[in-house]
Amino acid sequence: MTDNATILQNVPVGKKVGIAFSGGLDTSAALLWMKQKGAEPYAYTANLGQPDEDDYDAIPRKAENYGAVKARLVDCRLQLALEDQQFIDELGGRAEMSQFLIDNGFDYKMSKEKAYSTDSNMLGATHEAKDLEYLNAGIKIVEPIMGVAFWKEDVKVEAEEVSVTFEEGFPVALNGKRIEDPVEFILEANRIGGRHGLGRLLYQGRWFDSQALMLRETAQRWVAKAISGTVTLELRCGNDYTIMNTESENLTYEAERLTMEKGDSMFSPADRIGQLTMRNLDITDTRAKLGIYTNTGLLAVGTGSAIPQLKDKNK
């Protein structure tokens, strides 16, 4: 192992080692374990707007209690591996890590009796591991941290209309109220969505990968720039919602172009006949191709065939 290795396979005894410290079970146990094995751990914590953290400043202090030489908290909201076989052998699972902290005198907040693990930031939350690893367990054992348990019969969720206003692809207002701070915008959206149990998760947020940068640049340059306007939705329970209205000066959609009402349409009967004629040419072409596929054996004709057959082929 070299001194500049980014993925450590063994504890660097007597040397500095950085650890991304969330304050959760995995990193708490790993930091204390590395300290006991002779490493000099330095903890770095990113503030990602985790809804289950009520005191971010307490996380670095916790890291220092577990043995970090120094601990820093970095606010990353706006910007939105240690693989040691001995560590795996001694602390191979979450139950072992929980017990390890308890045995060393630390009252870990997520006790080993909890039925699942939670990871979260201001973009969403995920619940995993423990009981949720089994197919007979599901969402009903979860106590949500970002909203209501809409699946419970005693939880009543009223329908609510919400409008989101965009300018050049960026959301700038909720229900007509302009919110300049993008962090506060997301937090307010979470509060609204949380009332309905509405949620989406960006779990593997490799935000600055070259692939992510390329896709985001494409979307922002060629799609988002033209998106300015307001979308109104009705939120109900969970992911049950309806788009009620879309307003924008940049809309290319016009109902008059597609209406079926007499006198309002931009299409005449002759136009429709022409459209149907062109459509029939496409159908004729497709039918001929199916015939070729059948003759070459790519498609079978007969009982159980995917191609519908007339009983009387002369008709």
Q: Taking the CB of residue 100, how many other CB atoms lie within 10 A of it?
A: 20
DSSP assignment of 188-224 equals HHHHHHHTTT------S--TTSHHHHHHHHHHHHHTG
What's the CA gap between 28 and 97, in Å, rounded? 9
Most confident of 64-73, 79-88, 116-125: 64-73
Same domain, 301 and 269: yes
Tell me what pLDDT residue 290 has.
86
DSSP 20: E
Q: In this structure, is residue 212 part of a structural domain?
A: yes
* 246/271 same-domain check: no
Decide if pLDDT at 43 tops 80: yes
Domain check: are 301 and 213 in the same one? no
Q: Answer yes or no: do 22 and 79 share one domain.
A: yes
CATH of the domain at 270: 1.10.287.400
SS3 96: helix
Please tell me the predicted confidence (pLDDT) of residue 3: 57
Q: What is the pLDDT of residue 61?
A: 93
* Residue 172 and residue 230 share a domain: yes
Query: Is 243 part of a structural domain of the chain?
Result: yes
What CATH number is given to the structural domain containing 72?
Answer: 3.40.50.620
Both 269 and 304 in one domain: the answer is yes
Predicted confidence at residue 232, as pLDDT, reads: 96
Q: What is the pLDDT of residues 226-249, one digit of tens each?
A: 889 999 999 988 888 899 999 999
Domain range for 175 = 160-182+208-253
- Please state whether beta strands 70-75 and 40-47 pair in parallel, antiparallel, or not at all (unpaired): parallel
Closest among 204, 166, 207, 171 to 188, alpha carbons compared: 171
Looking at the structure, do residues 70 and 30 belong to the same domain, yes or no? yes
Q: What is the model's pTM? A: 0.56
Q: Is residue 144 part of a domain?
A: no
Instruction: Tell me the one-letter amino acid at 31.
Output: L
Same domain, 42 and 72: yes
**Confidence class of residue 83 from pLDDT cuts 50, 70 and 90?**
low
Residue where one domain finishes, among candidates 62, 89, 117: 117
Q: Are residues 26 and 70 in the same domain?
A: yes
User: Is 105 within the bounds of a domain?
Assistant: yes
Evaluate if residue 31 carries a pLDDT over 90. Answer: yes
**Does one domain contain both 243 and 268?**
no
* Domain presence at residue 1: no
Same domain? 49 vs 96: yes
| Residues 142/127, Cβ–Cβ less than 8 Å | yes
Would you say residue 191 lies in a domain?
no
Whether 124 is in a domain gets the answer no
pLDDT at 84 over 60: no
Number of domains comprising the chain: 3
Query: What is the tens place of the pLDDT at every residue in 285-314?
Result: 998 998 888 888 877 766 555 555 555 555
Q: Is residue 90 part of a domain?
A: yes
* Helices 94-103, 25-36: inter-axial angle, 10-degree rounding: 60
Is 112 in the same domain as 20? Answer: yes
Residue 177 in this model has a pLDDT that exceeds 70: yes
pLDDT value for 81: 38
